[in-house]
Amino acid sequence: MAAILARAGATATAGGVLLWPTGRRPRNSVVVAAVTGPAVPQEGELERPAWSGETPLSRLVGALIAFKPLYSLMKLASREVIIRYRHIGRRRSPTSPWREMTKKVLESDVYEVFERIRDPSLVYPDYYLNPFHAYDEGNLSWLAAAEAEPATMSIPKRAIPGAPSIEEANRIVRGSWLNAIEERHLKYSRNCQINDILDIGCSVGVSTRYLAEKFPSAKAVVSA
């Protein structure tokens, strides 16, 4: 991804942000993407995380995941950890905020909207439908879509455990990310306003909404 976009005249930043200054594209644009490669900083001298590759630890993790009964237990345990973090900072209630948010989505008109916009001729590659992120039906299932936002909100709380609430943790993380994009834009855009935003790999579009609010001058905000 980084190499392809770099050939188009953009360079990747630490957060996976690519900017084309005026003159590189017809209109000044911001592209936010999950970029891998040299553009993404890594701590220490490791070529990859310790649990990946061919290290003894990675082989152990791979063996544990390959053992289906144990993998099922690992999925349940990891899922409950994320749900528990989503509940931190809220008043106790019969149901957790995670399940409340999920229920709200699944009981909305999303099915009707989907039927109106779906393309019956579209055929997804097999790997799109493989088990992923603890969802047996893959990451395109309705449950995965409904749980995407509460799952996204859980991550900052784990990253900033000292935050008084999950909302404050999200404010800090999102604010830092948006400020980094704005600072880079101001540095390299020659004071041109943002007209288009393309958010790549945005899941259900949580980050896209934040970008639209941060940069109201954008006339087109697109999720991909």
In order of 149, 164, 202, the CA distances from 171 in angstroms are 15, 11, 18
In order of 79, 147, 154, 223, the CA distances from 158 in angstroms are 14, 17, 7, 26
- The answer, yes or no, to whether residue 94 has pLDDT greater than 50, is no
Region 136-152: what's the mean pLDDT? 87
Q: DSSP code of 192?
A: P
Pairwise pLDDT comparison (117 vs 22), residue with the higher score: 117
Q: What percent of the chain has pLDDT over 90?
A: 23
- What integer best gives the mean pLDDT of the chain? 75
Residue 183 is predicted with a pLDDT of 93
Q: Per the structure block, which two tokens stand in for 195?
A: 């007209």
Contacts of 23 (CB under 8 A, 6+ apart): none
Residue 90 is predicted with a pLDDT of 52
- The answer, yes or no, to whether residue 110 has pLDDT greater than 80, is yes
Give residue limits of the domains in the chain: 1-36+184-224, 51-159
Residue 133 is predicted with a pLDDT of 72
- The answer, yes or no, to whether residue 204 has pLDDT greater than 50, is yes
CA dist 166 and 88 (Å) reads 7
Pairwise pLDDT comparison (200 vs 38), residue with the higher score: 200
Residue 27 is predicted with a pLDDT of 46
Pairwise pLDDT comparison (13 vs 148), residue with the higher score: 148
- The answer, yes or no, to whether residue 107 has pLDDT greater than 90, is yes
pLDDT tens, residue by residue, 114-134: 999 999 999 888 888 887 777
pLDDT tens, residue by residue, 39-89: 344 455 556 665 566 778 778 877 887 788 887 888 777 777 777 766 554
CA dist 101 and 220 (Å) reads 28
For the chain, first and last CA: distance in Å? 14
Residue 17 is predicted with a pLDDT of 43
